[in-house]
A and B are shown apart, each in its own frame.
Chain A
Amino acid sequence: MKLSVIGAGYVGLTTAACLAQIGHDVFCSESDVEKLAKLQSGIMPFFEPNLEDVIKGVCNAGRLTFGSTEEAIAWGTVIFICVGTPPLANGDADLSSIENAARTIAKRASGYRLVIEKSTVPVQTGSQLRKYLAANRTNGLKYDVASNPEFLREGSSVEDFLHPERIVVGVDSPSAEEILREIYQPVISQSFTCPIHPNCAKRNEPVFLVTDTGSAELIKHASNSFLAMKISFINMVANLCETVGADVTKVAQGMGLDSRIGPSFLNPGIGFGGFCFPKDVQAFIRIAEKAGCDFALLREVEKINQGRIGHLVEKVRNELWVIRGKKIAVWGLAFKPNTDDVRFAPSIALIESLLSEGAKVSAYDPEAMDKAKAVLPNITYCSDPYKAAEGTEAIVVVTEWDEFRRIAWTRIKSVIERPLIIDGRNMLDAKVVADQGFQYVSVGRPSVIPAEARSAEREGPVLAAQDQTAGAMAD
């Protein structure tokens, strides 16, 4: 089928590439001229595993072309709108890019078009789109509007598109449902050639859920808000564990085995970040507010998340006492591993906070340093984690990059000023680092002091006692 995709951001580019991969002829538009030129000459605008290979393949096969919005609208009878909807200062989603796309469609398109909102938009955007097209159409345009929320995760978006758990389509006409079912048929039956694992076993067929437009729009907000709530909940439990001397890892394990709860998103840490969760939670609060419903539960979720950075800085302060003038290494800048995205990444707020207290920060991230340089110009960027650790008094682990699990700790020990690790993601093996002589502070667990320091402590002043556990059981 001839399909058009408007917008070549994370969502748009992944959608366009994967739709082409499953056999459609796709035209993808981008309004940023510079970005468009890059795409047309085969340069990726961001890092995303497998995406570059998929794009190369489908471009070579002639199934994916890049160009202007006008060209895209002329191309296909089905138009996916994948433009950005960043939050405005008041928390509302900025829908002007969607309106721009709708305006062009109303002006340029003739015949029938199925207009699909793929960007995360507030509920009732579908009906607004419908009204807009009705009022502004020319050339006798006939149209349907559908909602088809994406559930892509940065870092695994190609995999998520091709092997989803569910495909949600919000439609108000049988013909729109039929077209969407046909578009996704290869994914529904898992019958396409998988570009990631050529010999991969056939995966579970996803649920194809057909709803009305409004419900589909809400599903996206509700899903992301729920997951954000799950993270904030376990972070709150982590705080409590720190106070009473329990181990949040075990608590999370026991909770996660409950089939009504499930183990995902029960990792305590420095909070959720990235472009989706904070934005979607905020948007859901606004949607509810506008509908006359105070979703205070989600406001608490936000508040807990906002407190996470301060909580981690407090851990740093607890160990280093005075922060001013001290050198601190930060490992990981991206908001999560396998992406170079630093938008709303906790690393930014953390580093800004450390800088404001006078720390000198040296940072390392395998992918995100270029993007971080624009936001954080006043720190030292290092080419590997060892250089970043040189001469520092603490390593703060911020992003769960797999390579941090394979560090040669003896090498770090020889270059670091003080063997102290503050793990904001609970990703390292406490025993391994303690055996190498590091003091290890993590989230929601008692901190681990290496054997040599423990023996010194008995003789001399307190080195790094877990002061939080004491005193709670005064008899």
Chain B
Amino acid sequence: MRIAVVGSGYVGLVAGACFADIGHEVILVDNDRQKVAALTQGQVPIHEKFLPELLERHRGHRLTFSGDLHAAVEASDAVFIAVGTPSTERGDADLSYVESVARGISGAINRYKVVVEKSTVPVYTSEWIRKIILRNAAAPDSFDVASNPEFMREGTAVSDFFYTDRIVIGADSERCTAMLREIYAPLTDGSYYQRPDAIPRPDRAQIPPPMVVTSTKSAELLKHACNAFLAMKISFINAVASVCELVGADVHQVCLGIGTDSRIGSRFLNPGIGYGGSCFPKDLRAFRAVAREHGYEFRLLDEVMLINEDQRRRFLHKVHSALWTLRGKRLAVLGLAFKGGTDDIRESPAILVTQMLLQEGCQVAAYDPAAKERAREVFGSAVEFADNPYDAARGADCHRWTQSL
């Protein structure tokens, strides 16, 4: 099938490369000409396992890059919207990119097309996309809007695409559902996994993945609910860790004890400095905003966020109680990315803690195997960047590890 993926950020790039790998003709569209040029020349803008291989395999054949949304949509049967949906100041998702893409799509509907939201968006976004396309004079039966949330994790995004726990399709017509089923057929019928060049299967993966078919609204809600739940799991165990510290119990033993309950599961039960990254904090805020818009105060989520913020304060407090005063002390920070295996530092607890340490007047020498360059954009010369953990630790009063989630 011919697929246009709009937005060559993290989600779009990975999804585009993976769609090409399961046999589709993919045009990856971005309005940033420089980015398009760089991708065309073979650059890989993000650190992600297997992505360079897939780009190499399909670039110029089944995967092309373009700055022309109109032409890409005209040439395609399905259009995946994978543009960013950052948080606004109020905490809800900023959908202006989604809206402008929808507008761009509306003028290019030359035959039946499915428009699919791949970005994480609040419930009702699909209806807005539909309205906007209709308003721009597309015929109502010439397109459908569907939701197909991604469940990729940075660091293992490519593996997660092929070896996902489930594929979720939110569609409100038979025709649209059938088209999405067809797109994912190489995964759901298992044929992809027979190929000798398939991306290798991780240990726990079940194949073929199950498919959940539901309404667009339920699919939209599902993604937020999943991330909010996982963030809650992290905050829960962090709160339990605080109780353990206070009563003298061992949180790791407690984690083992509750994680062996299959109704709970051991994953996401690692206490630490709190969650970060480009998804959890943003999705949590967005989910709360969605609830609020519909008249619900989802205070459970407020508490999840409060615990998460508190983890950083508690961490700093630990540094204080170990070192007494901080001004002028030299500290090594090991790890800057929001988790291991990625160079993403968006809302990384490590960055926030480093900022706090700098404010306290510490000298910081930092090391991260992947995120050094990105962190340099934030800190400039305020932080000394070391090439290995030993250099960072040289002469330090204390160092810290970022817990990877």
Contact = CB atoms under 8 A, between A and B. Distances in A.
B299 A253 contact: no
Contacts of B198: none
A419 to B, nearest CB: 26
A255 B247 contact: no
B247 A243 contact: no
A226 B266 CA distance: 12
Contacts of A297: 232, 235-236, 239, 300, 303-304, 307
B214 A250 contact: yes
Interface string B101-132: 00000000000000000000001100100010
A353 to B, nearest CB: 22
B278 interface: no
B350 to A, nearest CB: 22
Interface in A233-286: 233, 236-237, 239-241, 243-247, 250-251, 253-255, 257-262, 264-265
A246 B235 contact: no
Given A219-B257, A287-B247, A296-B306, A255 B225 contact: yes
Interface stretch (A204-212, A322-330, A364-372, A453-461): A204-212
Interface in B259-311: 260-265, 267-268, 290-291, 294-296, 298-300, 302-304, 306-307
Interface string B222-235: 10011011101101
A288 B265 contact: no
Contact of A246 (B204, B215, B256): B215
A353 B296 CA distance: 23
A201 interface: no
A236 B265 CA distance: 21
A159 to B, nearest CB: 14
A214 B306 CA distance: 26
Contact of A211 (B204, B257, B298): B257
A384 to B, nearest CB: 33
A251 B222 contact: yes
A397 to B, nearest CB: 23
Contact of A215 (B215, B242, B257): B257
B259 to A, nearest CB: 9
A268 B303 CA distance: 21
B218 A250 contact: yes
A313 B134 CA distance: 41
Contacts of A473: 124, 127
A37 B7 CA distance: 75
Interface residues of B, number: 64
B249 A215 contact: yes
A5 B126 CA distance: 61
A140 interface: no
Most A Cβ at <10 Å: residue of B124, B168, B254, B262:
B254
B303 A296 contact: yes
Q: Is the interface of B mostly helix, strand, loop or mixed?
A: helix
A333 interface: no
Contact of A239 (B127, B236, B244, B296): B296
Counting chain A CB atoms within 10 Å of each CB, the highest count among B244, B260, B265, B294 belongs to B260
Given A168-B257, A212-B249, A296-B306, A255 B217 contact: no
Contacts of B46: none
Nearest to B217: A246
Interface in A161-177: 165-166, 168
Interface string A186-229: 00000000000000000000010101101111110011011101
A211 B259 CA distance: 14
Contacts of A27: none
A291 B268 CA distance: 25
B243 A288 contact: yes
Interface string B23-58: 000000000000000000000000000000000000
Contacts of B166: 254, 257-258
Contact of B260 (A124, A209, A251, A254): A209
B248 interface: yes
Contacts of A261: 226, 229-230, 233, 265
Contacts of B242: 288, 293
Interface string A412-442: 0000000000000000000000000000000
Given A236-B298, A262-B262, A209 B124 contact: no
A219 B307 CA distance: 20
A404 interface: no
Most buried by B among A216, A251, A293: A251
Given A166-B257, A166-B260, A218 B249 contact: yes
A211 B229 contact: no
Contacts of A291: 243, 246-247
Contact of B212 (A219, A253, A288, A475): A253
B239 A295 contact: yes
Contacts of B296: 236, 239-240, 243
B253 A264 contact: no
A236 B300 contact: yes
A182 interface: no
B210 interface: yes
> Chain A: interface residue count, which band?
35 or more
Contacts of B267: 259-260
Nearest to A245: B217
Nearest to B238: A297
A209 B256 contact: yes
Contacts of A123: 243, 247, 249
A303 B228 CA distance: 18
B265 A259 contact: yes
B303 A300 contact: yes
Interface in B177-216: 204, 210, 212, 214-215
A151 interface: yes
Given A226-B264, A262-B263, A265-B263, A243 B243 contact: no
Contacts of B290: 240
Contact of A259 (B165, B250, B299): B165
Contacts of A382: none
B171 to A, nearest CB: 12
Contacts of B323: none
A15 interface: no
Nearest to A206: B260
A428 to B, nearest CB: 20
A218 B246 CA distance: 12
Contacts of A243: 294-296
Given A255-B225, A297-B235, A215 B260 contact: no
Given A261-B229, A261-B230, A291-B246, A241 B254 contact: no
A258 B226 contact: yes
A244 B230 contact: no
Interface of A: 123-124, 151, 165-166, 168, 207, 209, 211-212, 214-219, 222-223, 225-227, 229-230, 232-233, 236-237, 239-241, 243-247, 250-251, 253-255, 257-262, 264-265, 287-288, 291-293, 295-297, 299-301, 303-304, 472-473, 475
Given A237-B225, A262-B264, 8 more contacts: A123-B243, A207-B256, A226-B233, A236-B298, A244-B221, A246-B218, A259-B267, A304-B300
29 contacts: A165-B260, A168-B257, A212-B249, A216-B253, A216-B257, A218-B254, A223-B264, A225-B236, A226-B233, A226-B264, A227-B263, A241-B221, A244-B221, A250-B218, A250-B222, A251-B214, A254-B218, A255-B225, A257-B212, A258-B166, A260-B230, A260-B265, A260-B267, A260-B268, A261-B230, A261-B233, A262-B264, A288-B246, A292-B246
Interface of B: 123-124, 127, 131, 151, 165-166, 168, 204, 210, 212, 214-215, 217-222, 225-226, 228-230, 232-233, 235-236, 239-240, 242-244, 246-250, 253-254, 256-258, 260-265, 267-268, 290-291, 294-296, 298-300, 302-304, 306-307
**7 A-B pairs with least C-beta separation:** A219-B257, A264-B263, A291-B246, A250-B214, A257-B166, A166-B260, A211-B253
